A = this chain, B = another copy of it.
Amino acid sequence: MKDKKIKNVFRQGAISSEFIGESIYKHQTKTSIGAHNIFLGQVRADIIDDKTVSAIEYTAYEDMANAKFHDIREAAFEKFELTCMHIYHSLGTVKAGEICLFVFVSSPRRKVVFEALEFIVEAIKADVPVFGKEIFEDESHQWKVNT
């Protein structure tokens, strides 16, 4: 299954658990699926130099980012036998404990979903121009870097 149109992956603010639950529910009509694999990125309350991260403020080079997300989708559908794939990323403020990235892959068989999900998440971390400002409780900040 391929999808040529570039979608907007971004959502304003945190991705809610209800949204994720509903997204899972919608797949119950797709009865060729045997395995789903979901990755969720959650904002950590990291402690850096005695200061605790209270939120991350996400910005992105949106056009390029959506094009990159699209390329990643295409590459994953090419590489793996997937029934469907969904990616959502937050923009704006996401508090510690909230979810900022939701990647959802489904396939008839399980082996495929493990490989595909890791491939997609690593590609997102490496290739997509999203920027994260870690806001501390005292309102100072630092810039997040993916490792």
| A contact residues vs B (CB 8 Å cutoff) | 17-18, 20-22, 24-25, 27-45, 96-99, 106, 108, 110, 113-114, 117-118, 121, 125
Contacts and interface: CB of A to CB of B under 8 A. Distances in A.
Contact of A40 (B18, B36, B125): B36
Contacts of A113: 39
Given A36-B40, A37-B38, A118 B108 contact: no
A22 B7 CA distance: 28
A128 to B, nearest CB: 15
The dominant DSSP class at the A interface is mixed
A24 B40 contact: yes
A38 B35 contact: no
Contacts of A125: 110
Contacts of A27: 42, 97
Contacts of A18: 21, 25
Nearest to A52: B31
A32 B17 contact: no
Contacts of A44: 31-34, 108
Given A17-B24, A20-B21, A22-B17, A36 B31 contact: no
A18 B24 CA distance: 9
A39 B36 contact: yes
Nearest to A41: B35
